[in-house]
Amino acid sequence: MSFTFVDETITEPQQAANWIFDKISEKKDEFGINFMGLNERLKPQYPAVVVIAGGKQKAQHSTHIFLVMLEVIIQVYHAKLDSTHTQRTESDLNLVTSIENWLERGEMNMEDKVVFMYVSQVTPIIGRDRFANDQVVGSQMLVTIESRKGFPYGP
């Protein structure tokens, strides 16, 4: 497999989180998102989406190239717990599915900035609204990203 390195290659979790945050923010009205946050703890309006830089693993891939595995967490908070379970579940899952399908379109390579990315896990979450001290429900999406990084020196 041949991989061309470019200055814009994403090799750090924060770079990947910024890219995902920017792309979802561009579509937030279409998705019906009322609040977008990047590494944010406050959620003043619902539905809210918070993008968080996750972990990073690096291993030697081939001569002078690292395999870089990144994670980005997308937390989708839909509603307060006073909504009925059926309403919360259907709305939340539709929003999560829409975001997942939109991220996994085309080549799934973040506009040629990584080798491959996909949503590897979706799990339910319950959080606390810091403004009203109410519990809120949603889903946490784990985005797994594979990238490459050249050694910082020549052969």
Supply the pTM of this predicted model: 0.83
Strand order in the sheet with 65-80: 35-38, 48-62, 65-80, 135-150, 116-128
Is 93 inside any structural domain?
yes
Is 76 inside any structural domain?
yes
Is 1 inside any structural domain?
no
Could you list the residue range(s) of the whole structural domain that residue 84 is in? 13-150
Mention every residue, 6+ apart, whose C-beta is less than 8 A from residue 116. Answer: 108, 109, 145, 146
User: What pLDDT does 1 receive?
Assistant: 46
Is 6 inside any structural domain?
no
CA atoms within 13 A on the CB side of 43: 26
Is 64 inside any structural domain?
yes
Q: Could you tell me the two tokens for 59? A: 């291993």
Is 89 inside any structural domain?
yes
The pLDDT tens digits of the residues spanning 7-63 come to 589 999 999 999 999 999 999 999 999 999 999 887 778 889 999 999 999 998 877
What's the number of domains the chain is made of?
A: 1
For the chain, count helices (H), then strands (E). 3, 5
Is 5 inside any structural domain?
no
Residues 56-79 have a mean pLDDT of 90
47 preceded by cis ω (within 30°)?
Answer: yes
Is 61 inside any structural domain?
yes
Which CATH number covers residue 135?
A: 3.30.2000.10
Residues 139-154 have a mean pLDDT of 87
Name the H helices within the chain.
13-26, 28-31, 85-103
